[in-house]
Amino acid sequence: MTDAHLSGRDAIGVGIHRLQRLMASRRVGSRLAEAADVDLPQQAVNVLRALGDGEAMTVADVARAARMDIGAVSRQLAVLEQRRLVRRPSGGNGSALVAATATGRRSAARVEAVQSRHLRDVLSGWTAEERDTFGRLFLRFVDGLAHTPYRADQD
């Protein structure tokens, strides 16, 4: 059976699996970074993007925003700090903070621009109604995945 013949839950399951593989692909991450002229590993790019607009954040907050564990974030922050893409301002209450530098924010903005352009290209053949419907349903679906607990087989 080819993907074109799948429907309903089968098609959704195959789509999720393919999307997960695509999002986790180092090759895809490398292509994105290359197109944005950002010579960083995928995890470092994720951390830089999580830092966002340059507001200082704790490492724990960066980890939450990047959806990564603190150890991985700390390793990537070391890479980013060495390349002067992040800085560690002193926190007023003694907490360890990290923030993107101007160069880091520009790098993150280039990645965001490439990703946005890619999404526009992917959706260029869709009608406005198709895009709106897909966007609404996709967010509803993702919210459902996030809030619906897994259940053990009840048989």
Block means of pLDDT (10 residues each) for the chain, 155 residues, are: 72 90 87 93 94 89 95 96 93 80 95 96 97 96 93 82
**For residue 11, what are the CA distances in angstroms to 6, 7, 25, 113?**
5, 5, 21, 30
Task: Give the Cβ contact number of residue 107 at 10 Å.
Answer: 25
Nearest to 83 by CA among 49, 58, 48: 48
Question: Which residue is associated with the tokens 């590993």?
Answer: 41
**Contacts for 86 with CB less than 8 Å, ≥ 6 apart:** 48, 51, 77, 80, 98, 99, 100, 101, 104
Q: Give pLDDT, residue 1.
A: 45
| CATH class assigned to 7-147 | mainly alpha
